[in-house]
Structures are given as C-alpha cells and as structure tokens.
Structure 1
Amino acid sequence: MYFEILISSESAMSIFFSHDLCKNSRAKPTAFRQIRRSSEKSNPYRTISCYRTGIQVSAFYAPIMDVDVFGTLRRNKKNKSTRRAKSRKLLRLATVISRYLNFRMPEEAFLNLCDLLHPYIPKQTMKTTVSLEKRVALTLYKLASNTEFHDVANLFGIGVSTACDVFWEVCKGLCQLKRKFIGMPKSEEDVKTIIKGFQEKSAFPMCAGALDGTHIHILAPSIFHTDYYNRKGWYSVILQGLVDHQYMFQDFDIGWPGKSHKLFQNSKLHAKLENGTCFPPLTKTIQGVDIPVLIVADSAYSLSCNVMKPFPEGVARGPQLQLNECLSRARIHVEHAFGRLKDRWHCLMKRNDSQTTNIKFVVAACIVLHNFL
C-alpha cells in the first residue's frame, strides 16, 4: 500500500491511497518516482520522502521552514509587531500539525509564556541574535521530543553550542517562574477547595494532596554511579511530587539517587508537616475523632498524623478495604499527574542524557510548564 501525506498552510493533511502500486513490486520505484516528480511539479514545496516496505511518506515543509523559529528569517529589532506576526504564523502551523512540531501548547499560551519569560532570559549582544520566540520554541521542542542537540540545532538553523546555551537559559528562566505556578495552598479557602475536590472524586475526607515518587532515567554518573542504580535495573534520579485534585503540582523534590529510600524524610515537605506549617489548622470530627488536614501516599511511606497510607494487603478486612479503595482513588491523582507530565515532555519519559547536576533544571522547567498549561 502506498500513501502520501501532504501538509501545507491551507490544508492540514490529505491522505491518498493507491492499491495499484503494490500489484507489481518491480514497478514500485518507477511509480514512486513518477508520482514524486508530478507532485514536485504541481507543488512548489520541498518533498521529503521515506521508503519503508512499499510505503512513501511525503511532507511539504516549506511553509514551516520559512518561519522565524527555524532561523531563515532575521530578527527585526525595530518592529516588534513583525516578530509577533511571525511567531503567530508559526504557532498557527504548529496547531495544525502539532505532531510534527511538538510544541505542546496553543498559540496564545506560547505568546503568554514568551511574555512571562522575557524578564528572566538574558539579552544577547552578538550581531545576529536569536529571537525570544525562537529560543522558547527551541526549548519546548527539545523538552517535548528529547531530540539530540545536534538535530535540534540543524532544525532551527543555529549552531550546536548556541542551541545548548539557549536551552539552558530558557530552562533556568522557567525555574524562576516556580514560585508563580507551584506552591502550597496558603489560605483556608484554598485548602477547603482542594479537600472538597478530593471528597467529590474519591470520597476520602480531609485530603489536601496526593504524594508519590517516580524515577527519571539518566546516564550513569561518573562518580557514585552505584547509588543511582535503582531496583528496576537502570540509572535514575527520584522525583517526588505532591499534587491536588486537579493534577497540579503543589510541591516537588528532585535529585536524590534512584537507590535512595529517604527522600521524603529529608525533604522540606516532611519538615513542614512535622512543624505544622504545611496546612492551616483545620479539623473535621468523624465518629468522635478530630481528623486534621492530611495527604495520602502509598505503602512505601511512613504513617503519621498528616500522612495516610493504606492498610497492608492480606490484612485489611471489611471497612479497612473500603478505606483502601477510597485512598487509592485519591492517591491515583499523583500517578495521573506523573503520566501526563511524562507523556507531554518526553525528556522525562526517555533517558535524559543531561548531566546529573542539570537534571533538576529540566524537571523543574517541565513541572512549571505542566502547571502553566
């Protein structure tokens, strides 16, 4: 079977099927060449072809490659509206063919993100500068696809070293937005809203957050690499996250080796829970017992006044099983949050080849973007 995918600014995608080309295997190359030549004559866009077992995929990327984000247009310092128009053109194309660009956000969100990052990204002094929109787009593409810097640099029309510098500048700029988008609920009304959300979704009372950890795949560090070798058989660092009923991160901790089991005990969240400064002093009386605000976690965590874990399997009976079910429905919010985070930003799903000391910037940037969207 032969199919051809046509992409242009006017039509998002048109798929044409032709079964006749598969009847004669010897005639395939000739037929493919004829169709490709006819396509090139009728369409001025460049054709990129890929043959796999009798399948040719042709994509016309000229409308995209002409946009500022890919480096073919120079930045116009005097006319900001022109640059904004170029970025809008890019995002319109990215919305239509998001699977090819993988910016993971619509146009308005992209423009708002550029405005938020503007104070935190240093200005370049070189003669030919890289626009802010292009730097943000490069970073989003890198985070979403986990592509090598060499390929990203070629795609955006800049040098490899420039692509690396741009990526880390934007990631650190996103980290500066952490306090704006990530934080524990401060007022009693905010806490009550979260408790009500968990109550409606899971029937678990007084729950203000779901806590869990996940592994981020990394290269083996040059020193103490055995500490990063986890029980699953690969090297990782641990990401611990606390999310609310809307899958938004309230707190996170990143950087501990994959073999470590004391992340929660050494985290700032644990210290706040022990000091009683994490949540407002709210209680609810259930069967004569005052229940404080608490968070739910799995069996790997220690039971405390503010951390609730399920009863052990094989021991729970009757009401204990019902409590485990309600707790599981509440705790699954953090698992879904991790799933959404990794599915959107593949740099956390696949092996991340960044240095161990820089992983925290990548993870923090992805979590900020997760809450931003």
Structure 2
Amino acid sequence: MLCKKLSPYLPCPEVFVTPPLTISHQVALCLYKIASCAEYRVVGDVFGVHKSTVHKYFHLVINAILQLRAEYLYFPKLEEAKTIAIAFQKITNIPNIIGAIDGTHIPILPPSDGYQDYVNRKGWPSIVMQAVVDNNYIFRDVSIKFPGSTHDATVFRESGLYKYSSQMIPNYYTDVNGMQTPMMLIGDPAYPLLPWLMKPYTGHLEPEEESFNCYLSSGRIVVENAFDSSLVFEDPLGNGTQITLDDGDSL
C-alpha cells in the first residue's frame, strides 16, 4: 500500500542515466533506515548499495512521504470529534476532550554553530516535537521546528495549532451544569490554560482538585503512550552511550 501511495512522487527510470532502484527497494531501504537509526554505510551493506545511494533514496522517499501528510495527518471534523470526545469521556468523565497534547525530543547530531541551543534539559541534543494524539493514539497534529532547549510553552505558542486553533478545533459546545463547555485538548502544567486547552491544577490542592487532576491524567496518558517511553536510541554523538527515554517526554 505504501509503495502504491508513494509511486507518483518517486523517480522514474528516465530521470537517471542508470536505472533507479525499484519502488519497493526504495521504500524498504528508507523504512530500514528510520527503524534502525543506522548509518548510511550500514544500511548500504544490508541492501547491497553504496552509502551515497542510501542517502539519495532515503531523502527522496522521505520527501514523498511528506506529500501524503494531508491525507493522514489532520484534525478531526465535527462528527469524528464527537466520537473521540465520547471515548475520552468514558476514560476521564470529562466531556468534549478531543485530544491530548505534549512534547517530546528527537535526538539529532546538532550543528556546530549554535550547538548549545539544541541541548535539552536532559543534557543531549535534540529537536522538540509537539504532538496532539487522539484516544486511539493517532497523531492529529505535529509541529517540529525548535531546538531542544526551547520550552514547551514557547513551542506551543509558535505552532500552527495555537495560531489557527479557531479553524482547527470544531465549534461545538456541551452544557455542563449550565455552563457551555467547548471542545478542547488536555495538556500538562507547562501549557497555558485556554478555553480550548485544559491543564491540571497546580500548587496547594483541595481534594476535589486532586481528584480532577487524576481524571485529567488518565486522558493525557494517550500522548505519552504514543511517544512510547520504552524506546532506546544510540547516542547521536556516537560516543558509545545510549539514550533511554522515560516518562513519555523524550523520543
């Protein structure tokens, strides 16, 4: 299916002097690279091609995949959002939740210029990824453009989600004890409290507030699970250590 979807965006034989790899070969090579995080040379050895060939087709396939983003990465429309909200309410007892938002860190080999900007609070270089995930662990929105030292709140305020929230989040309200409650996302304390973004209570909490936080946390866990906190990556600096991801805040 993936090969069929990508074939219109991948090179045809007449583009090259020598025949290109088959579509399935190109896609397999790219998926192996993504899954293993191996060097181009290692991937080339596995597939019997030169590392420069791996580099070329890896970027061609990635660019082709990006052409499909509108088909697979989109915010739910009203009817689908209602279905998602019902599922979240069964988990949290809170109405009109349509997604959970959080940030994670993608390990990178940083540029020498501005290296410190990429070092996150855990001490290794990364790019921050902000994502919204629904009840089925499906990514609904992704923003990846800031270096690892950037705070989640800054990433959020510079994201398309924040700037175009009125266009992305369905305009639908549910009456809760006489109060009109809009559709909303849920996030951790790093995010601002907005009409369409709910966060936990902080500071000295009353029992009711602690109870609310527990229910809210039961919904936020979907985004942490989607990031998969059990993954382990080789250190992008290549010094022989490993980066273990924990608490869903690094990937």
Q: TM-score, normalised by structure 1?
A: 0.60
Root-mean-square deviation (Å): 1.6
Give the alignment of 1:180-195 within 5 angstroms.
180-186=71-77, 188-195=78-85
Do the aligned partners of 1:253 and 1:267 also contact (CA within 8 Å) in 2? yes
Q: Distance in 1 between matches of 2:88 and 2:130?
A: 20
- Specify the alignment match of 1:264 in structure 2: 156
Q: Structure 1 or 2: larger helix share?
A: 1
Shift of 1:326: 1.0
Do the aligned partners of 2:9 and 2:64 also contact (CA within 8 Å) in 1? yes
The alignment status of 1:304 with 2:166, answered yes or no, reads: no
Q: Distance in 2 between matches of 1:351 and 1:191?
A: 39
| Count of matched residue positions in the alignment of Structure 1 and Structure 2 | 233
The alignment status of 1:332 with 2:221, answered yes or no, reads: yes
Q: Distance in 2 between matches of 1:132 and 1:119?
A: 10
Q: CA distance change for structure 1 residues 350 and 178 in 2, over 3 Å: closer, same or farther?
A: farther
Shift of 1:197: 1.3
Do the aligned partners of 2:103 and 2:130 also contact (CA within 8 Å) in 1? yes
Q: Distance in 1 between matches of 2:26 and 2:19?
A: 13
Deviations 1:4-57 (A, max 9, x none): xxxxxxxxxxxxxxxxxxxxxxxxxxxxxxxxxxxxxxxxxxxxxxxxxxxxxx
Please tell me the residue identity of whatever aligns with 1:268: G
- Specify the alignment match of 2:207 in structure 1: 318
- Specify the alignment match of 2:20 in structure 1: 129
Give the alignment of 1:118-267 within 5 angstroms.
118-124=7-13, 125-186=16-77, 188-261=78-151, 262-267=154-159
Work out the percentage of aligned pairs sharing the same amino acid.
Answer: 36
Do the aligned partners of 1:216 and 1:351 also contact (CA within 8 Å) in 2? no
Q: Distance in 2 between matches of 1:247 and 1:325?
A: 20
- Specify the alignment match of 1:8 in structure 2: none
Gap regions ≥5 residues in structure 2: 238-251
Shift of 1:127: 3.1
Q: CA distance change for structure 1 residues 250 and 168 in 2, over 3 Å: closer, same or farther?
A: same
Shift of 1:155: 1.2
Q: CA distance change for structure 1 residues 137 and 249 in 2, over 3 Å: closer, same or farther?
A: same
Q: Distance in 1 between matches of 2:222 and 2:127?
A: 21
Shift of 1:223: 1.3
Shift of 1:272: 1.8
- Secondary structure of 1:216's counterpart equals strand
Deviations 1:85-137 (A, max 9, x none): xxxxxxxxxxxxxxxxxxxxxxxxxxx11000100112242334311111111
Shift of 1:227: 1.1
Q: TM-score, normalised by structure 2?
A: 0.88
Larger Rg: 1
